[in-house]
Structure 1
């Protein structure tokens, strides 16, 4: 599944590149206002922080929500106390777009994450040109040389990489990039199976100074509390927010 998602994302990026060449996107990225400091926004605090996700669909769950106005949803997330907004931009299985990210960027003052299967520099430049402050990098989708290359490009553009792992080996590779924001995804992106206890088993591997992010398998405040008790500084939540009253649900999660 992960290989198919990456291949599709690269095909879509190539289509966009034919319409908007690399040099044009590079210039647009350079012209953007500086990225927001996501590490400061997500720094460990007395209570858990939430990255709230704009997510219409997923390969594992199918259709989740229409979300005709991503900017309005993001504004609710900000009002509800989220610390950052994640925007799915993958077009095929998640039904997102860069236009969603641009709309969200214009509507909120929080850091905005491009959630995508990023595997080449053009996608990173697109993210900055659209106003992203963070870019997701999935260790399982990249060899180490490309992972480091993309991580460094994200940093050079003033953004922050959220480097995502699913195994102890992937976590070590994430730390080897020098990343300061590292997530453990409870969902295996090859099989899409969930392991809610994975973060807890890997949390003690984090070195000092790296922000610990738990991703996936969040349906209730109890799930957030479970991650918090295991050492999560930040929890990324998508489905539970788009299928409920986002402000009420955020209130419950932030109180966990």
Structure 2
């Protein structure tokens, strides 16, 4: 059993428990439920080099990355740095995140927020909307085509955008559909945790032009982004590279300022 299999098994138990305690009606009563979302895909189409900065305390591959920042510090730092969007991990067991992180992030910025989560049930999409997200992540490797269609349509009906994450050609082929907004290529092999930007480069030509292309994981330099831009990528998700420093916001600001010189 891979780490991803373990995460999904735990997630099914977690969601079942939540559904038994917090009814959908309570989620729909949230002050955020009537909020109009901000479109990340529109922002990315308007320009280039869109940095999607990530709040992540730990990961299965790296254990603790940084527990020293408050959510507000990180999010405001990313906003001031010029990030086009912010990804917020909400999985507790493996990444140290919570839905409260998403709420605090929403209170700290107006730019688009991605709820980064292992979504296996429509309930989690309602949670995303109720806690201030603008878009959700769907991971093709853990979902069937039917589930991707059902979940993406659910998100669109709530006004949320959808970022689909793929790792290979097979996942892309089974997943392409009109209810997606963006397609992200994860450069990390979730079985081995090895990272290679060649994964984005290899898959870029196969992604239909109507979807905004995003490269995820393993991006550490301005040169990486300039290289990936030539393959049509508009968004670049960076988390660990910022979070492992003493000041995530300042690290993001320095990175973006350097990038903007080119």
**TM-score range relative to shorter protein:** over 0.9
Deviations 1:52-74 (A, max 9, x none): 00011111111101144112211
Matches within 5 A, 1:1-256: 1-28=3-30, 31-43=33-45, 45=47, 47-176=48-177, 178-244=179-245, 245-255=251-261
The CA distance in 1 between the partners of 2:6 and 2:96, in whole Å, is 15
The CA distance in 1 between the partners of 2:162 and 2:258, in whole Å, is 28
Q: For structure 1, which runs of at least 5 residues remain unmatched after alignment?
A: none
Change (3 A) 1:11 1:143: same
Aligned to 2:149, what secondary structure does the other structure show?
A: helix
Superposed displacement of residue 128, structure 1: 0.3
The CA distance in 2 between the partners of 1:226 and 1:86, in whole Å, is 23
Aligned to 1:77, what secondary structure does the other structure show?
A: helix
Q: Scaled by the length of structure 1, what TM-score is found?
A: 0.93
Indicate if the aligned counterparts of 2:90 and 2:102 stay in contact, CA closer than 8 A. Answer: yes
Deviations 1:18-59 (A, max 9, x none): 3312232234387331211222122252x3101100011111
Structure 1 vs Structure 2 CA RMSD: 1.8
Deviations 1:66-107 (A, max 9, x none): 144112211111111100010000111100000000000111
Change (3 A) 1:243 1:198: same
Superposed displacement of residue 129, structure 1: 0.2
Q: Scaled by the length of structure 2, what TM-score is found?
A: 0.91
Aligned to 2:13, what secondary structure does the other structure show?
A: helix
Q: Give the aligned length.
A: 255
Superposed displacement of residue 5, structure 1: 1.2
Indicate if the aligned counterparts of 1:199 and 1:214 stay in contact, CA closer than 8 A. Answer: yes
Superposed displacement of residue 246, structure 1: 2.9
The CA distance in 1 between the partners of 2:209 and 2:181, in whole Å, is 10
The CA distance in 2 between the partners of 1:132 and 1:11, in whole Å, is 23
Deviations 1:147-188 (A, max 9, x none): 110000010000001000011121122323541211010112
Q: For structure 2, which runs of at least 5 residues remain unmatched after alignment?
A: 246-250
Superposed displacement of residue 255, structure 1: 4.6
Indicate if the aligned counterparts of 2:153 and 2:179 stay in contact, CA closer than 8 A. Answer: no
